[in-house]
Amino acid sequence: MDTELARFNMIEQQIRPWDVLDADVLALLAAVRREDFVPAAYRSMAFVDTEIPLHTSQGPAQSMLAPRVEARLLQELAVGKHERVLEIGAGSGFMAALLGHQAQQVLSLEIDAELAAFASANLRRSGTSNVTVRHADGSKGCPGEAPFDVIVLSGSVPQVPPALFDQLKPGGRLVAIVGQLPIMRAVLYTRSAGSPTDGAIGSVDLFDTVAPRLIGFEEPSRFHF
């Protein structure tokens, strides 16, 4: 496989047509080696427009998000060099690596021990020094290190827990894929620039998609009458 041609085609044929036109985001996707974060068995799929399976030691299977979804979320968040980011669901570490190139500091929480080790190893090999992967349940966030400028949920949830909104700085942003199959939607939430305790949360629907569930988030009860 011609890796650089495959990377170029991923950007030009998958990512640009999905309205990802930010030059910095496109340059970042060209520079960070996605193939180095893909499990060896799926290396040939590194640039394909699909989710890539990740082996987990517990719970349901996880996967890397499709490249166009990762790119669109990055563009919508517009992370700045001065900002601190919390990611829920490290997966392979690729999204954390992209965020690390944009942010001052990234903390990525991963509930699966095997994936946490995999992501940490991938990030070390890539030379990403401002990202920390922690084996932890991310459904409650990390209140001891809050507030954060940006929170990213790298998977889907039925709804965003209020505890995560509480960990946003005024003006902070949170992005998540929310809903139930067959309908899920990427949503960008923003805390208004009031005090940390009274800033209202606004939201903008970004695009429809589907993604595997993040582990540890409570599912709503379903009653049948």
Q: Give the pLDDT of residue 75.
A: 97
Give the C-alpha separation, 216 to 138, whole Å. Answer: 7
- Which residues span the domain enclosing 150? 3-209
pLDDT confidence bin for 225, thresholds 50/70/90: very low
169-206 pLDDT, tens digit each: 999 999 999 999 889 999 999 999 865 556 799 999 99
Check pLDDT > 70 for residue 22: yes
Check pLDDT > 70 for residue 221: no
> Has residue 12 been placed in a domain?
yes
The DSSP call for residue 10 is I
Q: For the chain, what is the domain count?
A: 1
Mean pLDDT of 73-90: 97
> Has residue 176 been placed in a domain?
yes
Give the C-alpha separation, 38 to 53, whole Å. Answer: 9
> Has residue 223 been placed in a domain?
no
Q: Is 71 left (phi over 0), alpha (psi -120 to 50) or beta?
A: alpha
CATH code where residue 28 lies: 3.40.50.150
Count of alpha carbons within 13 angstroms of residue 56, beta-carbon side: 19
- Mean pLDDT check: name the lowest of 128-132, 147-151, 205-209, 210-214: 210-214
Cβ distance 51 to 211 under 8 Å? Answer: yes
> Has residue 200 been placed in a domain?
yes
Cβ distance 82 to 40 under 8 Å? Answer: no
38-81 pLDDT, tens digit each: 999 999 999 999 999 998 877 677 899 999 999 999 999 999 99
> Has residue 225 been placed in a domain?
no
Q: Give the pLDDT of residue 68.
A: 96
> Has residue 68 been placed in a domain?
yes
> Has residue 198 been placed in a domain?
yes
DSSP letters, 165-194, are HTTEEEEEEEEEEEEETTEEEEEEEEE-SS
110-148 pLDDT, tens digit each: 999 999 999 999 999 999 999 999 999 999 999 999 999
H-helix or E-strand spanning residue 214: none
> Has residue 58 been placed in a domain?
yes
Check pLDDT > 80 for residue 82: yes
Peptide bond into 147 cis (omega under 30): yes
Give the C-alpha separation, 29 to 131, whole Å. Answer: 17
Give the C-alpha separation, 157 to 8, whole Å. Answer: 32
